[in-house]
């Protein structure tokens, strides 16, 4: 581990602070504090001491000799005796549990509160259920949804009614939002006229807007009376807006002492929610309220620490329901589910609260994108490469780009084909529609094959071809037809991190005044003067992380020419499944194979807390 800048300045300052608190110079404490700070910044919620013993570390600049990690038993003993390290339940800067996991206190408490809340909510089934009414509602809402094998949408709906906490996972096009619409109809019919306080939410403004759009469509397909249909909300909030974030602080107006006035809380794109936010969300939800998480457990984990949805789902335990749960589902729906014979189950019965939707309506059986994404999920690089090399599968193609030089010619063709049209219209709605049909996704932001370089190259190509006015671009940051990605929330103007807009002239305005046009809350577009824009960047290309919660007709994925730890199967799967129709992958075979072989493994204690 002798790489440059192994520890950040924050890691070093934190380690010095903790060492001073301990009362004397203590290299074992210093090293532990620096390491736990480092791994938390990289996405883990704790440091597994057993995985780092025997490794050598680079010396911080003020140390003369290289530091060597002590043997595990000695390190554990030193930490246990330190006044700055506590056991679970203590209030100390660092917490060491029985599994040799070392936490920053705040992440231990986040994990503890979240796991306790989930276990309490899944321990027992909801008792106040109108079984006759529920059976009739299920028959009516799902009567035309017959298909091959188990109807997992029906199973998910029963599970959501029975449990105060439920997870519905599924890939793109598996009908997650449509299932939730039916679940909400079930709740409302069970309420028998009582008003239910229902909140729809998502991590980003873009995801919230898509949830709203999907819910509007899904409601119209329901076989229920108009009173029930109209009671299902359409408005979706970002999590921060729903919980009412307090400016310049990590806290929210709604919390355990002042809970959200809700009976049902639905969270879409749950894979994007980090440990801290999920813990605060669950704490702010009343103990008698329902929580429904929707997401894809195989997508990228959150940017900040934690892999919450993946830990909750515990991939190896999906659909291993208890005998009791299988019996209830069969009685209500006729769906016969094979009872697992795996032996013991967690006492909290969390296995009965998680359902995965398996049938994709966007990528039907045999589709190239569906088969490729499945191979990626399974870590089967040989199968994935074989599918890419099959010329009979035009919906997913592969161009072997080995260097930035190889990219230039290919980029010119793509830029003119897909990005010329927004410059040929004066209609902002039409320009937005063009940009929402196609997107270049990059695995990294920096470097010759990253977002910044690709955006710059496309601007140069469009300028050379006469679509961008060279003089205007030379004198101004913004120009007509420029796609914009918002990078910071602006609640005053309903613009959120990840939102897309386009720079266009205002019709009839003096001197062709430019504004940012972005999708309106109901229909059409809204506009904002350039001087009021929140932080943003040009967005012909965007990172795969930023694309989460979005869909495009066609996607080009650009992979770097060097291997990086961020290149994982989850990133590849997320990128490919942003496309509705076609995917073109630009990258070398070694990079692709490395990605498919590398799985995100974030260290945490949440999975053990829920499943052991």
> Maximum distance among all alpha carbons in the chain?
76
Query: CB atoms < 10 A from the CB of 391, how many?
Result: 6
Q: Are residues 331 and 422 in the same domain?
A: no
Domain for residue 201, yes or no? yes
Query: CB atoms < 10 A from the CB of 567, how many?
Result: 20
Domain for residue 51, yes or no? yes
The CA-to-CA distance between both ends of the chain, in Å, stands at 33
For the chain, the domain total comes to 3
Domain for residue 121, yes or no? no
Q: Are residues 445 and 505 in the same domain?
A: yes
Question: Which DSSP category does 512 fall into?
Answer: G
Nearest of 161, 121, 608, 127 to residue 348 by alpha carbon: 121
What pLDDT, on a 0 to 100 scale, did the predictor assign at position 27?
Answer: 84
Say which CATH number the domain at 88 has: 1.10.10.1020
Question: Which DSSP category does 282 fall into?
Answer: H
Residue 328 C-alpha from the chain's centroid:
32
State how far the Cα of 295 lies from the Cα of 268, in Å rounded to an integer. Answer: 6
Q: Exposed/middle/buried for 387, CB within 10 Å: 0-12, 13-18, 19+?
A: buried
What pLDDT, on a 0 to 100 scale, did the predictor assign at position 250?
Answer: 86
Q: Are residues 288 and 427 in the same domain?
A: no
What pLDDT, on a 0 to 100 scale, did the predictor assign at position 2?
Answer: 36
Domain for residue 125, yes or no? no
Say which CATH number the domain at 343 has: 3.40.50.300
Domain for residue 609, yes or no? no
Domain for residue 391, yes or no? yes
State how far the Cα of 456 lies from the Cα of 452, in Å rounded to an integer. Answer: 6
Q: Are residues 435 and 527 in the same domain?
A: yes
Residue 99 C-alpha from the chain's centroid:
28
Q: Are residues 516 and 484 in the same domain?
A: yes
What pLDDT, on a 0 to 100 scale, did the predictor assign at position 597?
Answer: 94
Q: Are residues 297 and 374 in the same domain?
A: no
**Is the pTM for the entire model greater than 0.85?**
yes
* Rg, the chain, Cα only: 26
* HSE value, Cβ hemisphere, 13 Å, CA-based, for 259: 14
What pLDDT, on a 0 to 100 scale, did the predictor assign at position 247?
Answer: 79
Q: Are residues 330 and 423 in the same domain?
A: no
What pLDDT, on a 0 to 100 scale, did the predictor assign at position 316?
Answer: 66
Query: CA torsion, points 36, 37, 39, 44, in degrees to nearest 10?
Result: 90
Task: Provide the residue range defining the domain that includes 15.
Answer: 9-112
Q: Are residues 336 and 379 in the same domain?
A: no
Q: Are residues 325 and 390 in the same domain?
A: no
CB-CB contact of 360 with 153 (8 Å): no
Domain for residue 143, yes or no? yes
Domain for residue 171, yes or no? yes
Q: Which residues of the chain have pLDDT under 70?
A: 1-5, 53-67, 143-148, 315-317, 338-346, 348, 391-393, 402, 474, 508-512, 520-524
Q: Are residues 337 and 437 in the same domain?
A: no
Q: Are residues 94 and 144 in the same domain?
A: no
Domain boundary residue, one of 81, 112, 143: 112
What pLDDT, on a 0 to 100 scale, did the predictor assign at position 393?
Answer: 63
List the strands of the sheet with 198-202, edge to edge.
236-238, 198-202, 264-267, 290-295, 165-170, 354-357
What pLDDT, on a 0 to 100 scale, did the predictor assign at position 521?
Answer: 54
What pLDDT, on a 0 to 100 scale, did the predictor assign at position 5?
Answer: 66
State how far the Cα of 410 lies from the Cα of 309, in Å rounded to an integer. Answer: 37
Domain boundary residue, one of 112, 141, 172: 112
What pLDDT, on a 0 to 100 scale, did the predictor assign at position 231?
Answer: 92
Nearest of 165, 172, 180, 163 to residue 125 by alpha carbon: 163
Nearest of 539, 529, 556 to residue 483 by alpha carbon: 539
Domain boundary residue, one of 339, 361, 383: 361
Q: Are residues 81 and 104 in the same domain?
A: yes
What pLDDT, on a 0 to 100 scale, did the predictor assign at position 65?
Answer: 46
């Amino acid at each position: 581990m002798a790489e440059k800048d192994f520890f950040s300045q924050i890691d070093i300052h934190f380690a010095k602070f903790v060492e001073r608190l301990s009362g004397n110079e203590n290299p074992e404490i210093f090293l532990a504090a620096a390491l736990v700070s480092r791994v938390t910044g990289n996405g883990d919620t704790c440091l597994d001491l057993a995985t780092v013993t025997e490794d050598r570390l680079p010396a911080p600049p003020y140390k003369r000799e290289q530091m060597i990690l002590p043997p595990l038993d000695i390190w554990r003993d030193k930490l246990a005796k330190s006044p700055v390290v506590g056991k679970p339940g203590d209030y100390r800067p660092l917490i060491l549990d029985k599994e040799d996991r070392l936490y920053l206190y705040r992440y231990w408490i986040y994990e503890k509160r979240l796991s306790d809340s989930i276990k309490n909510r899944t321990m027992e089934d909801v008792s106040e259920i109108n079984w006759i009414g529920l059976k009739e509602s299920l028959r009516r809402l799902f009567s035309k949804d017959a298909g091959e094998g188990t109807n997992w949408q029906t199973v998910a709906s029963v599970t959501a009614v029975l449990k105060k906490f439920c997870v519905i996972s599924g890939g793109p096009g598996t009908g997650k939002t449509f299932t939730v619409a039916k679940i909400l109809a079930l709740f409302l019919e069970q309420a028998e006229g009582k008003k239910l306080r229902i909140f729809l939410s998502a991590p980003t403004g873009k995801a919230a807007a898509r949830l709203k759009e999907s819910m509007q469509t899904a409601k119209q397909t329901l076989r229920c009376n108009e009173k029930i249909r109209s009671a299902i909300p359409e408005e979706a909030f970002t999590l921060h807006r729903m919980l009412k974030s307090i400016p310049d602080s990590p806290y929210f107006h709604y919390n355990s002492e002042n809970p959200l006035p809700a009976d049902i809380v639905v969270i879409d794109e749950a894979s994007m929610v980090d440990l801290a936010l999920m813990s605060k969300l669950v704490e702010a939800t009343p103990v008698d309220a329902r929580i429904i998480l929707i997401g894809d457990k195989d997508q990228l984990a959150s940017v900040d620490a934690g892999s919450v949805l993946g830990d909750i789902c515990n991939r190896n335990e999906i659909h291993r329901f208890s005998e009791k749960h299988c019996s209830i589902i069969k009685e209500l729906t006729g769906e016969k589910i094979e009872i697992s014979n795996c032996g013991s189950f967690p006492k909290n019965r969390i296995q009965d609260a998680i359902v995965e939707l398996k049938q994709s309506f966007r990528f039907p059986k045999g589709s190239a994108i569906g088969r490729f994404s499945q191979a990626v999920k399974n870590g089967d690089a040989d199968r994935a490469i074989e599918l890419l090399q099959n010329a009979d599968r035009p919906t997913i193609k592969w161009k072997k780009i080995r260097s930035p030089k190889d990219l230039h010619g290919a980029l010119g063709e793509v830029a003119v084909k897909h990005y010329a049209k927004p410059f040929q219209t004066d209609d902002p709605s039409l320009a937005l529609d063009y940009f929402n049909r196609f997107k270049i996704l990059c695995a990294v932001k920096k470097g010759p094959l990253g977002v910044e370089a690709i955006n710059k190259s496309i601007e140069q190509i469009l300028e050379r071809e006469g679509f961008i006015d060279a003089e205007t671009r030379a004198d101004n940051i913004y120009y007509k037809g420029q796609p914009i990605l918002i990078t910071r929330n602006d609640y005053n103007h309903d613009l959120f991190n990840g939102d897309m807009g386009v720079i266009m002239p205002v019709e009839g305005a003096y001197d062709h005044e430019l504004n940012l046009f972005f999708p309106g809350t109901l229909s059409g577009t809204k506009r904002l003067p350039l001087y009021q824009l929140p932080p943003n960047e040009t967005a012909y290309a965007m990172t795969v992380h930023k694309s989460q919660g979005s869909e495009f007709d066609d996607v080009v994925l650009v992979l770097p020419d060097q291997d990086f730890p961020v290149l994982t199967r989850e990133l590849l799967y997320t990128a490919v499944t942003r496309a509705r129709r076609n995917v073109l992958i630009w990258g070398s075979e070694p990079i692709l194979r490395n990605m498919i072989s590398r799985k995100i493994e974030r260290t945490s204690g949440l999975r053990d807390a829920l499943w052991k």
